[in-house]
Amino acid sequence: MERFNPETKEKREQITSAIDLRFFRHAEKESDKSKSDEEIELTETGRKQTVEKSEDRDISQSVAFGSPRKRTQQTAGLVMGGQLDEITGNENIDELKEKLNKELKVGSKIGVDKRLDFNIDFSTDFGKKALESVKNGEYLKFLVEESDALAESFKDSATETYSGMAGRVAEIVKKYLTVAPRWDKLAQDESKKHEDTLKRFLGTHQGIGESFLAKVIEETKGKAERDAFVSALNNQGFDFAEGFDVEIQTSTGENQKVRISFKKEKDGETIFEYDEIVPKEMIESLILSEIER
């Protein structure tokens, strides 16, 4: 995704600030039966995957979030801060927090957002179907094509579905749409000496970010294009540390545009790409769909 660049403001309809949200699946995780799933962290390969995704040398305007499961927090923190001199890429989650938080007087550079977590009880009828789809390599296809109706037929309103996952991510996007006008005022206040872009790194689990993006593609491009997206992800979902970007662009403090972008490459070629300005109202409609489910 093209990052916000203040030098191109005139070309971008007088955009005065931006909020950049990066959503991605966690990197490769440990297989350690002595730990609970919440305690599982990244493997050495997983940590390398995250550092390869990192770009920034300055994270003063950045915060990372994960689900309550440590591997997502570790992924988000390393994607955010992997280029800093003090980060080796070998840190466990506690070491990573200590290094990233050393300059902070309050708060933390790595937070928890439960909306990034998954909630499937694999012992239920719905959960068994979901687990079967994972084993068959068709988890995303199952979510998109079957999960909403199946949960309704099982009268299981508490579990994960296509609409529910998409709605939770939409809630996060809406939060930053609300923040955007206030951020724009701060960004334009020369006494504050802020850069123009606020960044958030959001680590989650397979199926969650994909459901949101699939819904967005379905609403803006139709079901055939949504299905092409699902197929490009091999019907299963994002690879480790793979995801998409949401950029909230603000013009003159009041007008916000939501740009969503994703590119899937294979063997050096682009096999799927989405890069669109989407209506703000659509974000709200995804939230309503979750509530009505």
Query: Does residue 170 sit within a domain?
Result: yes
Query: Does residue 275 sit within a domain?
Result: yes
- Taking alpha carbons only, the member of 165, 166, 289, 278 closest to residue 221 is 278
Report the distance separating Cα 135 and Cα 151, nearest Å.
19
* Domain span at 76: 12-292
Element (H, E) at 225: helix 223-232
| DSSP character string of 124-171 | SHHHHHHHHHHHTT-HHHHIIIIIHHHHHHTT--SS--HHHHHHHHHH
Exposure letters 142-157 (e unless 16+ CB within 10 A, then b)? bbbbbbbebbeeeebe
What stretches in the chain show pLDDT beneath 70? 1-13, 253, 291-293
Give the pLDDT score at 157.
79
Query: Does residue 1 sit within a domain?
Result: no
Query: Does residue 133 sit within a domain?
Result: yes
Element (H, E) at 196: none
Query: Does residue 5 sit within a domain?
Result: no
Beta carbons of 209 and 216 less than 8 angstroms apart: no
* Mean model confidence pLDDT for the chain: 93
Q: Return the C-alpha torsion angle 87, 55, 67, 145, nearest 10.
A: -150
Beta carbons of 74 and 56 less than 8 angstroms apart: no
Beta carbons of 229 and 244 less than 8 angstroms apart: no
**Number of separate domains in the chain:** 1
Please write the tens of the pLDDT for every residue from 125-183: 999 999 999 999 999 999 999 999 999 999 887 788 999 999 999 999 999 999 999 99
Report the distance separating Cα 283 and Cα 260, nearest Å.
11
CATH assignment at residue 283: 3.40.50.1240
Please write the tens of the pLDDT for every residue from 40-53: 999 999 999 999 99
CA-to-CA dists, residue 111 to 20, 107, 139, angstroms: 17, 9, 28
Give the pLDDT score at 253.
59
- Residue written as tokens 């197929």? 231
